[in-house]
């Protein structure tokens, strides 16, 4: 894109809406800070991924349709979540294959971006770090990397912050064990994976674990809290906003 967009839609996602609203607000602020007008349509609920992944495609489609309808204009749709962005960008075309509104949904999917992807690949933002020195670690969620195809955009943004040291996890690409319904359908195996991820994060010596996915954050945070670990988790949008805006 030569001309940078001046106006975008923001899709909050259900987990951000209910559990990480600060991250949602921060994402909107980051976009505004980059000179983009943000439209937040009323009536957002969920992208439909849980039902899709469990094989309940009619239900997933019903929900997805109502969401697509909220974004009629030819504007980018920005999500503070790799997993939901992957659902809308990669799996909606699959879900609507052969449906009468397939073309319309595909056109929508083509406009979908995960927040850090949009900040780096489209807006090419340059962040200025205003925070104190801190050591962080990064959890790349499986869906953000393997479904959506993030190519290190979040790490690139963290790398722009002069006072932030990024200590990598030892198993950076291993699943944290969330997996949506997997976490309650297979609690034992999911629990072990989550504990391993939490231990990996603690071993980095970082004070905060960052991710672009609410599901992973909820999972690792719950696990760390259960261990009474001092390590915190934070959505990357919130972290970037905190570090870069003048108070």
Partner 1 sequence: MHAEKEILFRDSASKALLDPQLRANFRRAMDGLITKRRNQFPDPRDLQDLRDLSTAIRSRSLLSLPELLEQFEANCTKNGIQVHWAETCEQANELILGIMQAKGAKTLVKGKSMVSEEMHLNAFLESKGIEALESDLGEYIIQLDGETPSHIIMPAIHKNKDQIARQFSQKIKDAKYTEDVDELTAMARKVLREKFLHADAGLSGVNFAVAETGTLCLVENEGNGRMSTHVPPLHIAVMGLEKVVARLEDVAPLYAILTRSATGQAVSTYFNLISGPRGTDEKDGPREVHLVILDNGRSRMYADPQLRATLRCIRCGACMNHCPVYTRIGGHAYEAIYPGPIGKILTPQMEGVGVRHDLIHGSSLCGACSEVCPVEIPIPEILVRLRREATHEDVGSNVLGRGTGRTAAEDWAWRIWAGVLKRPALYRVASWFATRFGKALPAGAPLIKNWTRTRTKPVPARRSLSERMRAEGGSHD
Cβ 20 to partner 1 shortest distance, Å: 7
In the region spanning residues 129 to 188, those forming contacts with partner 1, defined by CB under 8 A, are 142-143, 146-147, 173-175, 177-188
Give me 16's structure tokens.
Answer: 């951000």
User: Considering the rule CB under 8 A, would residue 103 count as an interface residue with partner 1?
Assistant: no
Exposure of 240 by Cβ count < 10 A (0-12 exposed, 13-18 middle, 19+ buried)? Answer: buried
Task: Draw the binding track, 80-99, toward partner 1 (x: CB under 8 A; -: no contact).
Answer: --------------x-----
Cα 85 to Cα 93: distance, rounded to the nearest angstrom: 13
Cα 56 to Cα 7: distance, rounded to the nearest angstrom: 34
Strand-strand pairing, 7-10 and 77-79: parallel
Cβ 129 to partner 1 shortest distance, Å: 26
User: Considering the rule CB under 8 A, would residue 212 count as an interface residue with partner 1?
Assistant: no
The count of residues in the chain is: 247
Identify the residue among 223, 235, 243, 244 touching partner 1 (CB under 8 A).
Answer: 223
User: Considering the rule CB under 8 A, would residue 46 count as an interface residue with partner 1?
Assistant: yes
User: Considering the rule CB under 8 A, would residue 35 count as an interface residue with partner 1?
Assistant: no
| Count of other CB atoms within 10 angstroms of residue 13 | 28
CA atoms within 13 A on the CB side of 65: 11
Give me 153's structure tokens.
Answer: 């955009």
Identify the residue among 29, 33, 34, 50 touching partner 1 (CB under 8 A).
Answer: 50
In the region spanning residues 10 to 29, those forming contacts with partner 1, defined by CB under 8 A, are 10, 12, 14, 16-22, 24-25, 28
């Amino acid at each position: 894109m030569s001309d940078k967009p001046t106006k975008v839609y923001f899709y909050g996602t259900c987990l951000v809406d209910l559990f990480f609203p600060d991250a949602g607000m921060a994402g909107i602020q980051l976009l505004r800070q980059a000179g983009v007008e943000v439209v937040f349509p009323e009536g957002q609920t969920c992208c439909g991924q849980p039902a899709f992944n469990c094989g309940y495609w009619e239900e997933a489609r019903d929900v997805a349709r109502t969401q697509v309808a909220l974004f009629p204009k030819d504007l980018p749709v920005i999500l503070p979540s790799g997993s939901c962005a992957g659902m809308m960008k990669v799996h909606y075309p699959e879900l609507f294959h052969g449906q009468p509104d397939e073309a319309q949904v595909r056109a929508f999917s083509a406009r979908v971006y995960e927040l850090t992807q949009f900040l780096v690949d489209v807006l090419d933002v340059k962040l200025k770090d205003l925070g104190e020195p801190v050591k962080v670690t990064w959890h790349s969620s499986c869906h953000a990397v393997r479904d959506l195809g993030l190519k290190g955009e979040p790490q690139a943004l963290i790398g722009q912050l002069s006072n932030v040291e990024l200590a990598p996890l030892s198993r950076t690409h291993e699943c944290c064990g969330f997996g949506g319904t997997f976490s309650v359908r297979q609690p034992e195996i999911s629990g072990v994976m989550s504990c391993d991820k939490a231990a990996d994060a603690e071993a980095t010596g970082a004070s905060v674990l960052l991710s672009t996915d609410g599901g992973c954050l909820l999972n690792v945070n719950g696990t760390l809290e259960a261990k009474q670990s001092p390590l915190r988790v934070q959505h990357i949008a919130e972290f970037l906003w905190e570090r870069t805006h003048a108070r």
